[in-house]
Structure formats: structure tokens, C-alpha cells
Amino acid sequence: MMPGPTPPPSIEALLYHAQMQGVLPLTSCCNMQCIFCSNAYNPDNCEVFAIPPRPLAEIKDSILWLVGSRGPVVIGESVTRINEGEPLTHPEFLGILQLVRRHYPDRSIKVTTNASLFTADLIEQIAELNIELMVSLNTVGYRERVMGDKQPETTLRNVEALGGKVRFEGSIVSLPFVTGWEDIEATAKFLKDSGAWSIRILAPGFSRFHPLSKEAASITQDDIRSFSHNLEKDLKVPVLFEPARITSVIPVVEHVLPRSPARRAGIRPGDVITEVSGRPVLSRTEAFELVRDNERPRVAYDRQGAVYDAVINKQRFQPSGLVMYDDLDPKSWFEWERKSHVKRRRVLVLTSAPAKPVIEDALKMRGLEARVEAVPSVFFGGNIEAGGLLTVRDFAVAYGEIAGLDFDPDIVTLPKRAFDPWGRDLEGISYRVFEEITGKPVVFG
């Protein structure tokens, strides 16, 4: 039997941790009711928190916590244990954006929104503040059924009004078993015609508790991926599929946006970036972030075996126009190499199915050896695969099946993103419980 959870940290501690990662939680309130929203169907013992709209004064007092990250300031994304709602329901939304822009004049600020609450005036103001948007549109034809949108025409008009004023991407949680493929295609076309610079097609993630989990199982990620690929050819706009089934850390460029600094520098899709400002790069994430964070970075790249170089003429922290998938954070990787002593010890890496081939490739590139195993989700079940949603329970089951058969590790690596800063998983169970059950020390990676 699994020992019980340890007490949760305070909301303030969670907010501090979120902001140090560049995420600014505003509110868990939302004006929609999406049928795919995970907020409604988490298991009872899943530790996520809902917050009311945070007062402007509180955000002002904690604004400096955002210095913990050099990347964009992210608003409206549920990437921490705090449920994110619709940021535009916050009564002081504009005041908060103005405050963030004043403190961080150079940083990219990205807001995820369902776009239903925009007004012409607000669009003008966010254009002036140079805010980027991710518009979660999901459907044009089934808005009430899929999102509970009572005024679909208003939302669609708002999206059209963004075009030419605000830089935005569109996203679609693909539910072909609800809307049909035609609606996904029509939604992507609508986003493109409204001015979206790229479109993200997201595979739906349904736990076994969700009423749609059986229908979702009838569609594979490969079906959606190949549909997205065809969509990109038809629409001639970057269409990114998530989760991307990438199997290597090779820093390959997916797209280069028209009229962007990277396009002017001559970089093309398929080029492989090998160095940025004289520094060799290990992964896509490293290449992308170095280009983003530097002024006029000099980039060496490989095109079909020939090596070229070019200067991307841009300011520090400004977008280059390169579009690349996220794969491996180099800082975390090198920290893991050091802490796991992987050169001298037998290391077992327990991770998610999508991350397994990426980690194996990084090990190969670095000339290292470790055993890497994909862990299925028992706690959430359904088609959930993300590493951040794995729990101590899942790791213990997987370890029981692997260890002792043919591999006795000195140390086990668990994914850092599955734990909060206090080492507790989504059930509140500490990684130390895993150490007690298995008798093996844990290092995060």
C-alpha cells in the first residue's frame, strides 16, 4: 500500500514558483465550458488548485518574481498546478498587461485566450503593448457544443478583428469524433484567413475518467498528425502538431516565417542549426533560445551536408521567425549528467513514451549509456502520455516490471516536471516514497 500524501504547499509558494518560471497566473475563472477541459475531469485526489482573480496590487508586489525566467511572460496557460481560466474574465486584465509591459519592456508577453471577450478598444491597446496571443478557437461550426459558446458570431468576429493588428497563433484541440474532419479544416482556414501566423493542432488528452475517452481511442495520433501535415500543404501556413512525435535532438528548423529576420538571413525549413554565436548546440530548444535571447546572433547551419553561416538581424528577445519544436532543455540535461554520475553508474531513466526516443538520442549524441523506459499512466489512464502527468504510483508499477529482470540500476531518474518544487507528485506523494519502495536513490532529469 502506498503511503499517503504530504501536506500541500501554500498558494503563495505555488505562485512564486510559477512566476519564477515566467508563468503569471491571473484567475481560474472561465466563461466557457469546453468538453475537453481537463479542469472538470481530474481524479478526486489530483492536486490542482483554483484561484479567484488575483488583485492588481498582489500582482504588482510579486512582479519581480518573473525575473526567474528569461523567456516570454506567459499568461493563461495551465502549465503549473494552478488551473488557468480565461484571462480576459479578469476585471483588471488590461491594467495587468500594462504593468507587466512597464517592468519588462523587452520581453515577449504571450496570452492564451478563447477570444470571446475582446472589444475593438482592447484589441487596439494590446496591439500597442505588443502582446502576442494564442487563440484557442478549436471549432468554427460546433462552438456551443464543444466550448459552450453562447455567442459564436461575436467570438469569430473578434478573431477576424485581430488580423493585421495583433500577432497571433491559433490552436485547435482536434475532436474529429465530435466535429468531423471538415470542421477542423474549416477552423484552420478561418484562422489563417484571419491572420494567424501559425496553427497548432493539439491531440486531445482524455483520462479514463472523461466521458469522451472511448471515442478518443478510436482516433490515433498518427491519423491527426497526417491530417495536419496535409492541412499545412493545402493552407501554406505553418501547422504544428502536438505532441510532436520527434525522435532526435537534431536542431532542425520546421518553418521560417515570411518577412522575418531568419528568412532575410537566408535560413530555410530543413536546415540544421549547429552553432549559435560560436557555441555548438545540443538540441532544438537550445538553438531556438540562443537565437531568441541574443542580438544579431551568428548562426552556423547545415543544409544537405554543406555548412553555411549567417547573421540574423534582430534585437535581443525578439522573435527571429524560426519555428522549431521543443525537445530538450540543455541546462537541465547537463545538470542531470552531473548529478546522476551517468558516466560511472548504471542509470535507469523512467520517462514518458514521447520523451523516450529524444532522451535516447541525446545520450547517443553525448556518448553516454543509460537504460530508458517509457512509463504508462495508471493514475490518469485513457490516452494520457505526458511526463508531467505521471505519478509515483505509475513509476513504482513500471519499476516493478523492469527492475530485477535484467537490470539492477544504481540510481533512477524521474522526470522533474512530474513533481512540484517540494518533490511531490500530482497526488501529493513524495518521490521519497519511490526511494523507500525501491531502495534506489532518485535524481530528477
Contact pick of 85, 205, 319, 354 for ligand SF4 (by CB under 6 A): 85
Stretch of 31-39, 199-207, 248-256, 260-268 lying at the interface with ligand SF4 (CB under 6 A)? 31-39
Chain-centroid distance of CA 275 in Å reads 25
Q: How far is the CB of 402 from ligand SF4 (least distance, A)?
A: 36
Nearer to ligand SF4, 96 or 349 (CB): 96
Stretch that binds ligand SF4, among 7-15, 34-42, 350-358, 404-412 (CB under 6 A): 34-42
- Strands of 239-242's sheet, edge to edge? 73-75, 109-113, 131-136, 168-173, 199-202, 239-242
Q: Which stretch binds ligand SF4 (CB under 6 A): 17-25, 30-38, 245-253, 280-288?
A: 30-38
**Which secondary structure element, helix H or strand E, spans residue 99, and what is its range?**
helix 93-103
Please state the closest distance from residue 48 (CB atom) to ligand SF4, in A. Answer: 12
Toward ligand SF4, which CB reaches closer, 89 or 194?
89
Q: How far apart are CA 222 and CA 165, in angstroms?
A: 35
Please, which residue, 39 or 332, has the CB nearer to ligand SF4? 39
For residue 366, with 0-12 CB atoms within 10 Å meaning exposed, 13-18 middle and 19 or more buried, which class applies?
Answer: middle
Residue in 34, 134, 191, 375 binding ligand SF4, rule: CB under 6 A: 34
Question: Least distance from C-beta 178 to ligand SF4, angstroms?
Answer: 14
Peptide bond into 152 cis (omega under 30): no
DSSP-based three-state secondary structure for 173: strand
Q: Of 435, 415, 439, whose CA–CA distance to 425 is shortest?
A: 415
159 sits near ligand SF4 (criterion: CB under 6 A): no
Query: What whole-number distance in Å separates Cα of residue 191 and Cα of residue 231?
Result: 12
Determine which helix (DSSP H) or strand (DSSP E) holds 300, and give its type and residue range: strand 298-303
* Eight-class DSSP state of 49: B
The three grid cell numbers given for residue 197, joined into one nine-digit string: 501566423
CB of 176 to ligand SF4, least distance (A): 18
Residue in 66, 86, 206, 337 binding ligand SF4, rule: CB under 6 A: 86
Chain-centre distance for alpha carbon 71: 13
**Nearest-approach distance from CB 172 to ligand SF4, in angstroms:** 12
Q: How far is the CB of 85 from ligand SF4 (least distance, A)?
A: 5
CA distance readout (Å), 304 to 246, 267, 272: 20, 13, 9
* Cβ atoms within 10 Å, residue 407: 11
Shortest distance, position 33 Cβ to ligand SF4, whole Å: 6
Smallest distance, ligand SF4 to C-beta of residue 379, A: 21
What length is written for the chain? 445
Convert residues 96-135 into a mask of x (bound to ligand SF4 by CB under 6 A) and - (unbound).
------------------x---------------------
Q: Which residue lies nearer to ligand SF4 by CB, 136 or 413?
A: 136
Question: Would you tell me which residues interact with ligand SF4 (CB under 6 A)?
Answer: 30, 32-34, 37, 39, 85-86, 114, 136, 147
